[in-house]
Every structure is written in structure tokens, then in C-alpha cells.
């Protein structure tokens, strides 16, 4: 008597194969998303440095005109030195940039010395960056509470006149 052997024809994936495939895709997706979030934080930090440079340029233009820095980073504030220099800070920058979201800071910090010839601009970075090396590090003599330490978790980027 002849026995017939039938081959079992597979027409789909088993449940185990599907679960393993979904798990691998999930792991790869989480790795990509984690790396993407770090890249986004670094991009926001780069935007912060760019904003600081723009503010510094406006401050320098103001100083060249008035021989002192403005009291505040207010585009409508003016400075009058006995009628010699009456200009708005807004003549040199249309609006003060706002730091991108990602940290709790909503504005760039600005500290001015008493004779208005030196200042420090500060912003908090989200990610420890090589750009911090270009930053002023330490405390300011005229305002010890205005810290520019760039140690974790407070990655402060501070800039002074160039």
C-alpha cells in the first residue's frame, strides 16, 4: 500500500514571527527617536547662540552711537545723555529674540555693570555642547548672583562684549 505524504504548504507567518518582527521595528524606532531628540536639542542650542550674536551686534551698534550699553533689552527704551544720545535700542534690532522651548527660560538674561560699559548675556542650553567652551565661565564681579557656570545640569552660555 502506498502512503501519500502531503507537504504542508505555509501560506503566512506564525504569530511568533510577527511578534518578533514588531518588537525589532519598535526597538529600531525608539533608537531613531532618541537620537532625533538629541539632534533637536542641539539645533535649539545653536539657535540660542545665533540669537545671542544678533543681540550682541545690536548692543555694539548702540554702544558705538551712545558710548554706553542700554539699561535693558527693551526695543522701545531710549537713552538720553544730556540730549547727546537719544535713540531707541529698537533702532538696532527690531525685536529681542525669544529662546526656543526646551528649557524653563523665556528670555535672554542681561546684566549690566554700573557705568554701563560692560555686560553679560546668558542663556541656558539643553545639552552640554562644545559651544560652551566659547562661553564666559564663572561669576560676574558686579553681580555675583548672575552665575555663568556651565556645569550640569545648568549648561549656561554667557557672552560679553567682543
pLDDT digits (tens, 9 = 90+) for 105-162: 888 999 999 888 999 999 988 887 776 777 778 788 888 888 888 777 778 888 998 7
| Contact by Cβ (8 Å): 152, 144 | no
Entry pTM: 0.75
Domain-embedded: residue 36:
yes
Within a domain: residue 55?
yes
Asked if the structure places residue 8 within a domain, the reply is no
Distance CA 72, CA 89 (A): 9
Residue 7: inside a domain = no
- Is 58 among the domain residues? yes
Question: How far apart (Å, rounded) are the C-alpha atoms in residues 69 and 153?
Answer: 31
- The residue that leads in pLDDT, 147 or 7, is 147
Query: In terms of C-beta distances under 8 Å and separation of at least 24 residues, what long-range contacts does 128-135 make, across chains too?
Result: 128/152, 128/155, 129/42, 129/45, 129/155, 131/45, 131/46, 131/49, 131/157, 132/157, 135/159
Q: Are 100 and 44 in contact (CB under 8 A)?
A: yes
For 110, the domain range is 17-159
Amino acid at each position: 500500500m502506498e502512503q501519500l505524504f502531503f507537504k504542508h504548504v505555509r501560506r503566512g507567518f506564525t504569530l511568533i514571527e510577527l511578534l518578533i518582527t514588531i518588537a525589532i521595528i519598535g526597538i529600531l524606532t525608539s533608537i531613531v527617536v532618541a537620537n532625533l531628540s538629541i539632534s533637536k536639542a542641539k539645533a535649539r542650542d545653536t539657535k540660542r547662540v545665533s540669537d545671542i550674536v544678533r543681540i550682541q551686534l545690536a548692543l555694539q551698534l548702540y554702544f558705538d552711537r551712545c558710548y554706553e550699553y542700554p539699561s535693558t533689552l527693551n526695543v522701545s527704551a531710549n537713552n538720553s545723555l544730556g540730549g547727546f544720545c537719544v535713540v531707541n535700542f529698537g533702532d538696532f534690532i527690531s525685536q529681542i529674540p525669544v529662546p526656543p522651548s526646551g528649557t524653563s527660560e523665556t528670555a535672554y538674561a542681561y546684566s549690566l555693570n554700573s557705568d554701563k560699559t560692560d555686560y553679560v548675556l546668558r542663556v541656558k542650553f539643553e545639552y552640554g555642547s562644545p559651544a560652551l567652551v566659547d562661553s564666559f565661565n564663572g561669576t560676574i564681579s558686579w553681580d555675583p548672583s548672575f552665575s555663568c557656570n556651565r556645569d550640569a545640569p545648568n549648561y549656561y552660555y554667557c557672552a560679553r562684549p567682543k
